[in-house]
Amino acid sequence: MFRSHLSSKPPRSKPPRSKPPCPKSRRSKSRAPAGAARWAAALAALTTAASLTVPVAGAAAEHRPRPPAKQPVATGYGGAVSTVDPYATRTALDVLRRGGNAMDAAVAAGATLGVTEPYVAAIGGGGYITYYDARTGRVHALDGREIAPKRMGEDAFLDPATGEPLPFDQAVTSGLGVGVPGTLAQWDLALRRFGSRDLGRLLRPAVTVAERGFVVDQEFHDQTALNADRFRDIVPTRELFLPGGRVPAVGSVFRNPDLARTYRELARRGTGWFYEGRLGEEIARTVADPPVAPDATRNVRPGLMSTRDLDAYRALLRKPTHVTYRGLDVYGMPPSSSGGTTVGEALNIMSGFRLGEDDPAKALHYYLEASKLAYADRGRYLGDADKVDVPVDELLSRGYARERACLIDPDRAAEAPVAAGSPDGDYRPCVPAGTATRPLAGEGPQTTHLVVADKWGNVASYTLSIEQFGGSGITVPGRGFLLNNQLTDFSFSPPAPGAAPDPNLPGPHKRPRSSMSPTLVLEGGRPRLALGTPGGSTIITTVLQILLNRVDLGMDLPAALNAPRATQRNTPQVFAEQAFIDRYGADLAARGHRLAVFPGPPAGVIGAATALEILRPGLVQAVAEPTRRGGGSAMVVRPAGR
C-alpha cells in the first residue's frame, strides 16, 4: 500500500510572483517586416548556415564540449529535475539554482531539448503541461496541442485519385500532416501565468548549447539513421542533419547555428514573430511548398496551412481531469488528450479490486483488462472537446467504472477488441461483453517527457512532441527546426455507413487526439508524484503501470520506473518487453493473455519515462530511465547527505 510520509506542513516560502492570469495566450507583436526572404536566398544560405559536426580526434577534441554525466536517480533538496537528456536537465537545474521556479525550468529544459533532441522536441511541435501551483494549491492543465488548418476537412487524408486513405508514410512526410505548432504559444502562456522569468532569458542556455554543440550519442545517431532516407529528400533537412551527406558519428559534436539564431530572434522579437510575423510566413510557405530535393522521387504532398492559421492559434488553460485512487488524487490532461480520461477510467476500474504485491500476476491481469476496456472507450468517445461532445464526467464516474469492471473475469482475459461502453448515466451491475470496435489508430511513439519541482513546492509535468522521430521530416529553411506531423493522429477515413461516429476525424482548427499523459498525484492536497513518458498510444499504459507498481505492488519509484512493461490497447495481443514476458508470461498466458514482444520503434522497448516523488516536505527524488533509449538524467539542487 502507498504509505504517506508527509506529516508536516509544506515550507512557507512563497514562489516568485507570477503575472496576472489570462484565459488565452496573448502573444507579443512581432516587429519584423511583413515581407519574407525568397526561397532561393533561404536555400542558398543553407550551404553556409547549416549544422556542423566536428570529429573528436586531434585538436578538435580539445574544444569538444563535455556532456554532463548521466544518473537515473537523484535525491535531495532545493528542487529536482528529470529529463531524457543531461543537457536539458542541467539547464533546468541551473534555472532553479538561480532562483527560477518549476515552470521557468520546464520551459528552459524544453528549449534545450529542441537542440539536443530535435527529432522529438522542437518549436515546430506542441505538447501538454500539468502544473501544481503551490501558492494556490491548485492543479492546472496547459494545452499547447497543434491545430489543423482552417481548410482541412474530414476527407483530407483520402487520396483524391482513389478515395482510399493515404499510405501512412506518405501522410507523415508531407505538408499535409503538419499542424499549427503550439509550443511557443504554450511557453508564452505558461510563463505569463506561472513563471518568474521571461522567455528571452530562458532561451539563453539553449542558444549556448546550439552554438557550442553537443556530443552525439548512440540514440541521436540511431534516430538520424532511421530517418536518413527521407531526410535526404528535403533540402534543408539534409543540410542540417546529414552534414556532408552522412549520419553524424557517435562522439562527434553536433552544432545548430541556425536554431541559435532563431532562438535569439525569438528572444528579441517575442513569440509574435513566430505566429504573426516573418517566421510565420516562412513556416506557412514551407508547409504549402515543401523544399523537396530536385532528385527526390518521394511524393511530398503540400499542406493546407496559411499565415491566418498561425495567427489564429491560441494555447489554452484547461481544467485537468481528476480521479481518486487508493486515497490519492490523480490529475491528468483533458481532451484533446485522451491521457487523463483513459488513465482515470482505468484507475477507477482497478480501484474495485484488491491488488497487491503478494500476487503480481493477478494485479497485472486486472491492469491489462482495465486498460482494454478504457481503450475501447477512448476510441469511441475521445476527440477535441472544443469540436465534439466528449462525456468526460461520465467516463470518469464511479458508476460507469463499476459497470465496466463487472466485465472482468478474474481468471480469463476477454477476447479483444472489446466494445465500448455507454457512459450515459444509467449504470447497471453489468452489461454484456461486446467484440466489435474500430481498430487502434496509428500514433507515433516518438515524444519526450520531463518533470520539475522547485523549493517552493511548485511541480511541472510536461510532455512535448513533434509526433514521429523527425516529425514531418521538413525543416524550415535556415531556421534550424523540424515541423511536426501531428495531424496524422487524426483518423484517416470516416466510419462506414451505420457505424458509430468517429470523434477524431480532421476538421478546421481541430486538435487531433493525443495519448500524452503528463500526470500529477497529490496526497492530502500536496504533491506526491509527477510522471509521464513518450510512447504514442503506449503512453497511457506506461503511466498506469508505473502507478500500479508504485501504489499497489510496493515498489519504490526507481523500481516502479525500471520494471519491465506490457501494453494492452484493446488489441488481440498484449505487447510487452522481453523481460516482462520472461517474468510473467506463463501466469498471464494461463489466464488467456496472448503476449508478444513489442514491435517498436524501438523494438522491444516501451516508453522512456521520467518521474519524481516528494518523499517529505523539501526532500525530492527525481528518477529517469536507467537504460531505455540510452537512459535519462536526474538531478537535484542539493543532494541529500552533503
Q: Could you tell me the domains of the chain?
A: 73-320+440-639 (3.60.20.40)
- In this prediction, residue 12 carries a pLDDT of 33
For residue range 180-234, list pLDDT tens digits in order: 999 999 999 999 999 999 999 999 999 999 999 999 999 999 999 999 999 999 9
Using a pLDDT cut of 70, give the percent of the chain over it.
87
Confirm or deny that 628 is annotated as ligand binding.
no
pLDDT band at 287 (very low <50, low <70, confident <90, very high): very high
- In this prediction, residue 431 carries a pLDDT of 57
297 is a catalytic site residue: no
DSSP reduced 3-state for 302: coil
- Calpha distance 148→629 (Å, rounded): 31
DSSP reduced 3-state for 157: coil
For residue range 303-331, list pLDDT tens digits in order: 999 999 999 999 999 999 999 999 999 99
- In this prediction, residue 572 carries a pLDDT of 95
560 φ, ψ (degrees, to nearest 5): -65, -35
137 residue type, one letter:
G
Confirm or deny that 489 is annotated as ligand binding.
yes
Return left, alpha or beta for 471; rule: phi > 0 is left, psi -120 to 50 is alpha, else beta: left
Lowest model confidence (mean pLDDT) among 55-64, 380-389, 493-502? 55-64
Q: What is the overall mean pLDDT for the chain?
A: 89
Lowest model confidence (mean pLDDT) among 16-25, 334-343, 365-374, 554-563? 16-25
Per-residue pLDDT for 555 more than 50?
A: yes
Per-residue pLDDT for 60 more than 70?
A: no
- In this prediction, residue 31 carries a pLDDT of 34
pTM over 0.85: yes
Identify the bridge partners of residue 237 per DSSP, sorted by sequence position: none
Mean pLDDT of 528-532: 98
For residue range 62-111, list pLDDT tens digits in order: 466 777 889 999 999 999 999 999 999 999 999 999 999 999 999 999 99
316 φ, ψ (degrees, to nearest 5): -125, 140
Please answer whether residues 363 and 548 qualify as being in contact, where contact means their C-beta atoms are separated by less than 8 angstroms.
Answer: yes
- In this prediction, residue 382 carries a pLDDT of 96
- In this prediction, residue 53 carries a pLDDT of 55
Q: Pick the catalytic residue: 112, 173, 447, 538? A: 447
Here the cell at position 466 is 513533434
Per-residue pLDDT for 40 more than 70?
A: no
Mean pLDDT of 587-612: 95
Confirm or deny that 380 is annotated as ligand binding.
no
pLDDT band at 13 (very low <50, low <70, confident <90, very high): very low
For residue range 358-384, list pLDDT tens digits in order: 999 999 999 999 999 999 999 999 999
Confirm or deny that 145 is annotated as ligand binding.
yes
- Calpha distance 543→65 (Å, rounded): 35
Mean pLDDT of 157-169: 93
